[in-house]
C-alpha cells in the first residue's frame, strides 16, 4: 500500500471538520489478542497484505472459519483512514488500499486486527469503525467512499499470491523496503490486483465486496 500524498490536501479541503480529534476518545479498552501483542506479530511497513497473510497463518485451522482478510479500497484507489500510524500529526492518511483481519464471533461484536493503526490491537468492530472509518463529526466526500472485499481466512491463504512488483517505482527501486521473509508467490502468479479491485465480479467465488453501509450492517454490534 502507498500513501496518496498528492490527494491529501484536496481531500482535507473537502472535509467538514467539527472536532478533528473526537474519535480518539471513542476507543474501547484493549482486548487480549490470541496472537500475542502487536510487537509479537510479523510486520513490514506498507505490506499490509502480507502482514495479514502471516496473521492468518497463525490462526489454528479449527478456528479459521471465523476469521477474514479484508481489503479496503475504491475504484480510484484513494481511501482515507483515520488513526493510522503513517498519518503522523495529521488525523488521517490516504492509502491506495489497506488490509486488516476481521474476526466474527457468534453473538458478539466482531473484532478488527490492524497492525498499522494507533487504535488497540485488536479493536471491536464498532470502535474501529468510529476510530478509523467514520469518525463522528466528519463528512467524507462520496468519491472517497470505502469498499471492503471480505475473504475467508482459509481462502486468502490458498489463493493470494504476490510478486511485490506493485511496490516498485518505474525506475525499479522499491517504494518501501520489502519484508525480510520470502514473497507469498504461488506458481509465479501475481494476483494482488484482483484482491485490491472492488469489482464484485472479481474473485466472486471466494469473496464478497461490500460498501460502507453493508459492511457496517453486517458486522456492527449496535
44: cell is 513490514
Please tell me the pTM assigned to this model.
0.86
Question: Which is catalytic among the residues 98, 116, 127, 147?
Answer: 98
CB 111 within 8 A of CB 103: yes
> What is the pLDDT, as a whole number, of residue 206?
98
Question: Which is catalytic among the residues 46, 48, 78, 153?
Answer: 48
pLDDT category, 37, cuts 50, 70, 90? Answer: confident
pLDDT category, 24, cuts 50, 70, 90? Answer: very low
> What is the pLDDT, as a whole number, of residue 221?
85
Q: Give the neighbor-by-neighbor strand order of the sheet with 123-124.
A: 123-124, 111-113, 98-103, 67-73, 147-152, 208-211
Q: DSSP secondary structure string, 144-179?
A: G--EEEEEEHHHHHHH----SGGGB-TTS-BSSPPP
196 CB-side CA count, 13 A:
21
Q: Which residue has the higher pLDDT, 23 or 152?
A: 152
Q: Count Cβ atoms within 10 A of the Cβ of residue 128 and give its class: 0-12 exposed, 13-18 middle, 19 or more buried.
A: buried
Residue-number span of the structural domain to which 41 is assigned: 5-219
Determine the average pLDDT of the residues in 28-32: 39
pLDDT category, 7, cuts 50, 70, 90? Answer: low
For a pLDDT cut of 90, what percent of the chain falls above it?
79
> What is the pLDDT, as a whole number, of residue 106?
76
Look up 48 and say whether it is catalytic.
yes
Sign of CA dihedral 168, 169, 172, 174: negative
Look up 98 and say whether it is catalytic.
yes
What is the CATH classification number for the domain harbouring 184? 3.10.620.10
Question: Which is catalytic among the residues 46, 56, 78, 114?
Answer: 114
Look up 114 and say whether it is catalytic.
yes
Count how many domains the chain has.
1
Amino acid at each position: 500500500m502507498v500513501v496518496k500524498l498528492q490527494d491529501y490536501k484536496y481531500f482535507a479541503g473537502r472535509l467538514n471538520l467539527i472536532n478533528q480529534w473526537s474519535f480518539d476518545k471513542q476507543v474501547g479498552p484493549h482486548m487480549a489478542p490470541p496472537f500475542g501483542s502487536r510487537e509479537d506479530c510479523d510486520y513490514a511497513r506498507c505490506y499490509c497484505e502480507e502482514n495479514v497473510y502471516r496473521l492468518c497463518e497463525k490462526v489454528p485451522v479449527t478456528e479459521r472459519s471465523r476469521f477474514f482478510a479484508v481489503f479496503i479500497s475504491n475504484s480510484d484507489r484513494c481511501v482515507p483512514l483515520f488513526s493510522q500510524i503513517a498519518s503522523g500529526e495529521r488525523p488521517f492518511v490516504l492509502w491506495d488500499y489497506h488490509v486488516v483481519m476481521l474476526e466474527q464471533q457468534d453473538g458478539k461484536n466482531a473484532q478488527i486486527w490492524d497492525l498499522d493503526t494507533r487504535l488497540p490491537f485488536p479493536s471491536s468492530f464498532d470502535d474501529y469503525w468510529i476510530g478509523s472509518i467514520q469518525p463522528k463529526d466528519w463528512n467524507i466526500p462520496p468519491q472517497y467512499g470505502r469498499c471492503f472485499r471480505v475473504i475467508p481466512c482459509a481462502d486468502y491463504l490458498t489463493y493470494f499470491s504476490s510478486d511485490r512488483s506493485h511496490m516498485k517505482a518505474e525506475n525499479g527501486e522499491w517504494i518501501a523496503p520489502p519484508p525480510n521473509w520470502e514473497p507469498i508467490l504461488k506458481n509465479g502468479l501475481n494476483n494482488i490486483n484482483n484482491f485490491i479491485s472492488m469489482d464484485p465480479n472479481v474473485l466472486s467465488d471466494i469473496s464478497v465486496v461490500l460498501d460502507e453501509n453493508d459492511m457496517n450492517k453486517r458486522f456492527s454490534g449496535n
